[in-house]
Structure 1
Amino acid sequence: MEQISILGCGWLGLPLAKEFLAKGYSIKGSTTSPEKINTLQQAGIKPYRIALHPDTIEGDITDFLNGSKILIIDIPPKLRGKANENESFTDKIKTLLPHIENSDVSKVIFISSTSVYGDVEGIITEETTPQPSNESGKQLLEVEQLLQNNENFTTVIVRFGGLIGEDRHPVHYLAGKKDIPDPDTPVNLIHRDDCINIILKIVEKNFEEGILNGVAPYHPTKKEYYTKKAKEKNLPLPIFISREEACVVKKIAVNKVTEVFNYTFNQNNL
């Protein structure tokens, strides 16, 4: 039974862990919340409380990594909000690196974001040079490079678009709001189920290293998409406003995922 360690069993990581368990994998999973230890345990995951900091790691990181050939890192940068969330994400991963190097891990799958591309316009592929425009995107890119440049393991970078699911959809935030900018900007979204399936494919097909974009190939404008979703969910319609300056027109291409894995996205659940 192959073992995988998943650093960050949250909104995406927990259902991902359950899918791996269903396929016969043994899973070690981490959380920063003591209250979630029981949740992981009941799901059949060997639970660990692991918290990364720029100069130390809380929890038994050595045992968490022990015996796993694959480590999936699915923790957000959290660069706003509470004081301890303003800690450098890059420095946290730098603190983690020696532990990975001294473990059984031979492949890291890092869950990144299309935010690393910033305001680059046009059709965005994995070969597009990232130009992150916010601190989160900048640090994600730094971490990507740190992992890829490490010769002790191979690294797969997965850059997901905006994550949505049945219990998490941005239309609830936008419903009834006024003067929402950039109505003609294309959406670049992906459903959690597709995220999980792509990560499963990376493991099952033994995709060794490189970068993959993960965005559903469905790009209506923000106005079209969120107006439609508000109507479907019987929510107040969002009101968009056009501005004189041109909006960023960016569409994330996923040809690599569809070709390498012969993968078909489920657009019906977007």
Structure 2
Amino acid sequence: MTVMIFGCGYSGKAIAKTFAADGFSVSGTVRSPESAEALAAHDIKPLIFDGSSFGDDLTAALKDVTHLVQSIPPTKVKSQKLSHPASKTPAGDQDGDPLLKLLSGQLKAICPKLQWIGYLSTVGVYGDHGGGWVTEETPGSPILGRSIERVDTEEAWAEQGRAAGVPVAALRLSGIYGPGRNAFVNLDRGTARRIIKRDQVFNRIRVEDIGAATLFLAQRKLDGIYNVTDDEPCPPQDVIVEAARLMGVEPPPELDFDTAEMTPMARSFYGANKRVSNEKMRALGFEFRFPNYRKSLAQMWSDDVWRG
């Protein structure tokens, strides 16, 4: 069994590690030779993909791929002319999902052994629900351009999968963190900020649980939409306070959201307030190793893996 991870970055490496432990041959794509060297250091076979075409090595590798994970985010779509009736990706345009554009209408011809596709999406597709709970059945109402594009791309991948007879699972991920990317690191660098916005909550997901959830769905060849997120949506400042407590340091001062200096992108994240349910994954029998931020932070601190 062979898995190919397109856009093998932070989450992709965790997915690769999980699949490798299950006996898969693992390959991943990056954009540059320098990144390829770094990927090889993680025992992942590196392949170059710049988003415009498949090179000879990548084309040959795709012939043996049984499981494909797409982690490359779509870019803004400008054109309305589609490259294929079943594709949401514009023709002759550098925008949209670069992989979907190349595989559209010929998925099985390029990947003849393909058995399952995982598409990494975001809970941002739900938009703002005033702090209320959302499930996979909640209609998408994204308020940000990058999330709107995710909805279209999810649908396009599902259509391609149906046409080729390959199950496609869309994993809607909440805020990703783990070793090397967490509140401890931000406190250590002096960049942690305790932004207070009344009643605001976020979900999050430990990167190792992304890897485990992807393998779980792949092993069962499941399709459809799945929220991959923790059990406990909470105010973001609570995570900072808990990390500071474990480190034995003072948390940064509280900053009011309305007056805090923030980039437009950082501020935009606070425009969507919701609680995301993971009950569908749990009902299938999946167990999250890190179901809440307290357990996760405690493990990273006690095992001294927070630096990555």
Do the two structures share a fold, i.e. TM-score over 0.5?
yes
Determine the C-alpha separation between the residues in 2 that align with 1:170 and 1:136: 25
Find the aligned partners of 1:61 and 1:96 in 2 and give their Cα distance. 13
Aligned residue in 2 for 1:93: 100
Q: Which residue of 2 aligns with 1:195?
A: 210
Letter matched to residue 47 of structure 1: P
Q: What letter corresponds to residue 96 of structure 2 in structure 1? A: F
Which residue matches 1:155? 168
SS in 2 for 1:111: strand
Partners of 2:75 and 2:97 within 8 A in 1: no
Tell me which moved more, 20-29 or 126-135. 20-29
Give, in whole Å, the separation in 2 of the partners of 1:3 and 1:269.
30
1:17-32 counterparts in 2 under 5 A?
17-32=16-31
Q: Structure 1 residues 127, 241: closer, same or farther in 2, change over 3 A?
A: same
| RCO comparison, higher one (Cα < 8 Å, 6+) | 2
Cα offset for 1:252?
0.2
Superimposed CA distance per residue, residues 225-267 of structure 1 (whole angstroms, 9 cap, x where no aligned partner): 3333344343641523266xx9754100000111102423423
Q: Tell me the amino acid that sits aligned with residue 220 of structure 1.
A: C
Partner of 1:127: 137
| Cα 1:59–1:213 shift into 2, 3 Å | farther
1:68 aligns with 2:65: yes
* Separation of aligned partners in 1, 2:243 and 2:94: 36
Answering whether residue 296 of structure 2 is matched by residue 269 of structure 1, we say yes
Partner of 1:227: 241
Q: What TM-score, normalized to structure 2?
A: 0.74
Name the counterpart of 1:145.
155
Q: Give me the whole-angstrom Cα distance separating, in 1, the residues matched to 2:101 and 2:204.
A: 30
Does the CA contact (< 8 Å) of 1:175 and 1:235 recur in 2?
Answer: no
Which blocks of at least 5 consecutive residues in structure 2 are unaligned? 77-92, 259-269, 298-308
Whole-angstrom CA distance in 2 between matches of 1:87 and 1:182? 38
> Which amino acid letter does the alignment assign opposite residue 25 of structure 1?
F
Superposition deviation, residue 117 in structure 1:
1.0
Residue segments in structure 1 that go unaligned for 5+ positions in a row: 80-85
**What's the secondary structure of 1:198's corresponding residue?**
helix
Q: Could you tell me the percent identity over the aligned residues? A: 23
> 1:64 and 1:181, CA in 2 relative to 1: closer, same or farther beyond 3 A?
farther
- Normalising by structure 1, we get a TM-score of 0.83
Give SS of 1:263's match: coil
The correspondence of residues 157-196 of structure 1 with structure 2, limited to 5 A, is 157-169=170-182, 172=186, 175=191, 177=193, 180=195, 182-196=197-211
SS at match of 2:16: helix
Distance 1:42 1:249 in 2: 39
Task: Return the offset for 1:202.
Answer: 1.2
| Equivalent residues of 2:129, 2:274 under 8 A apart | yes
Residues 169 and 224, structure 2, Cα contact 8 Å, conserved in 1: yes
Distance 1:126 1:197 in 2: 19
C-alpha contact (below 8 Å) 1:175/1:238 kept by paired residues: no
CA distance, structure 1, for counterparts of residue 192 and residue 286 of structure 2: 40
The Cα RMSD (Å) is 2.8
Compute the displacement of 1:73 (Å): 0.8
- Bigger mean CA deviation after superposition, 103-112 or 164-173: 164-173
Counterpart amino acid of 1:261?
Answer: G
Distance 1:133 1:249, change over 3 A: closer
What amino acid does structure 2 have at the position aligned with 1:30?
A: T
